[in-house]
């Protein structure tokens, strides 16, 4: 244990094609670790390596079969006969806005991302989502300004960009989801009163005495206090 490069028995190899060239790689590897095993030194197309950041958008097809598949290279195990192409960057169409100025009304989404109304309902975005999200549905929610539903449906998006690469209407889906989530959280969800109250009380100095008291306490007293403190059930 305790080793990143353990010697495991390699029972199986898979033949995979990176950018069209064949490599024999241990079959238990992911596309990302297999590329490294084959000799690729990754700079682009590799980020968190655990499925959160969307840096490693990947497209593949199994030799002799028609369907094209979409995945994150760090999350997808290799398969025999896999033809792999990576999509390390896609130029999303970014818009800027001032969250204090915009409102969650009907106009906002329409003004910032008008291209969503060009959606032809081909469902390519949903079919290509590396996280299995119902992307077309969240764009539909955005069109009808149901921001809460758009926010919830798009929540797991890691902005890998595959949907936008496939979209015939040139929509930057992940940015639409992000705007809906920010609007929904900021304007359509009640504010947390207890958080605001506590922030104000701290600013007003109501906790100064207590915090200074514990900071000045001898360490043995702090230890005693810690070891005997009650833990909320």
Partner 1 sequence: MYSSQMLDFIKTVEATREDRFKNEPRRLDANEKQALLKEFHPDHRDSGFGTIEVGNNKGEKAPVELVELLHANSRIKGIKFDFDSPKYDVDVLIIGGGGAGASAAIEAKKAGANVMIATKLRMGDANSTMAEGGIQAADNENDSPQQHYLDSMGGGHYANKPELLKRLVMDGPDAIHWLENLGVMFDKKTDGSMVTFPGGGLSRNRLHACADYTGLEITRVLINEVRNLDVPIVDFTAALELIMDDKGKVAGAVLMNMLTGEYVIAKAKTVIVATGGAGRLHYHGFPTTNHYGATADGLILAYRVGASLLYQDTIQYHPTGVAYPTQLFGALVTEKVRSIGAQLVNIEGEAFVHPLETRDVVSSAIIRECGQRKKGITTPDGAGVWLDTPLIVKKSGASMIEKSIPGILKMFLNYGIDIRKLPILMYPTFHYQNGGIDIEKGGHTKEVQNLFMAGEVVGGIHGRNRLLGNSMLDVVVFGRHAGKAAAEAAKTTTIGKLTLNHVDEYTRKLKDAGIDNDKTSPLLLPNYVRKLHKA
Backbone angles phi, psi at 16, to 5 degrees: -125, 155
By CB under 8 A, tell whether 96 contacts partner 1. Answer: yes
Strand 13-18 and strand 82-86: the pairing is parallel
User: Do the beta carbons of residue 179 and residue 115 sit within 8 Å?
Assistant: no
By CB under 8 A, tell whether 193 contacts partner 1. Answer: yes
Chain residues 137-166 in contact with partner 1, contact rule CB under 8 A: 151, 155-156, 158-159
By CB under 8 A, tell whether 112 contacts partner 1. Answer: no
By CB under 8 A, tell whether 120 contacts partner 1. Answer: no
By CB under 8 A, tell whether 12 contacts partner 1. Answer: no
Q: How far apart are CA 169 and CA 117, in angstroms?
A: 9
Q: How far apart are CA 134 and CA 146, in angstroms?
A: 15
User: Do the beta carbons of residue 42 and residue 53 sit within 8 Å?
Assistant: no
The residue among 52 and 117 lying less far from partner 1, judged by its C-beta, is 52
By CB under 8 A, tell whether 182 contacts partner 1. Answer: yes
Stretch that binds partner 1, among 24-32, 61-69, 120-128, 160-168 (CB under 8 A): 24-32
User: Do the beta carbons of residue 106 and residue 143 sit within 8 Å?
Assistant: no
Q: How far apart are CA 200 and CA 178, in angstroms?
A: 29
| Tokens describing residue 91 | 């130029």
Binding-site member from 94, 121, 170, 204 for partner 1 (CB under 8 A): 94
What mask of x and - would describe binding to partner 1 in positions 52 to 91, judged by CB under 8 A?
Answer: xx-x------------------xx-x--------------
By CB under 8 A, tell whether 194 contacts partner 1. Answer: yes
């Amino acid at each position: 244990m305790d080793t990143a490069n353990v010697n495991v028995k390699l029972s199986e190899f898979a033949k995979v094609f990176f950018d069209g060239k064949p490599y024999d790689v241990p079959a238990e590897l992911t596309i990302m670790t297999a590329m490294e095993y084959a000799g690729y030194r990754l700079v682009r197309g590799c980020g968190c390596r655990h499925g959160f950041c969307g840096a490693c958008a990947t497209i593949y097809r199994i030799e002799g079969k028609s369907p094209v598949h979409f995945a994150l290279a760090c999350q997808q195990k290799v398969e025999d006969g896999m033809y792999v192409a990576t999509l390390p960057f896609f130029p999303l169409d970014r818009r800027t806005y001032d969250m204090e100025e915009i409102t969650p009304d009907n106009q906002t989404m329409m003004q910032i991302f008008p291209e969503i109304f060009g959606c032809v309902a081909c469902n390519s975005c949903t079919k290509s989502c590396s996280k299995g999200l119902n992307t077309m549905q969240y764009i539909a929610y955005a069109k009808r300004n149901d921001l809460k539903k758009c926010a919830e449906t798009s929540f797991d998006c890691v902005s890998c960009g595959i949907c936008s690469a496939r979209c015939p209407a040139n929509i930057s889906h992940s940015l639409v989801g992000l705007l809906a989530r920010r609007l929904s959280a900021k304007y359509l969800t009640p504010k947390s009163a207890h958080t605001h109250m506590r922030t104000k009380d701290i600013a007003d100095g109501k906790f100064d005495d207590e915090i200074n008291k514990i900071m000045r306490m001898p360490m043995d007293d702090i230890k005693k206090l810690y070891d005997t403190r009650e833990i909320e059930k």
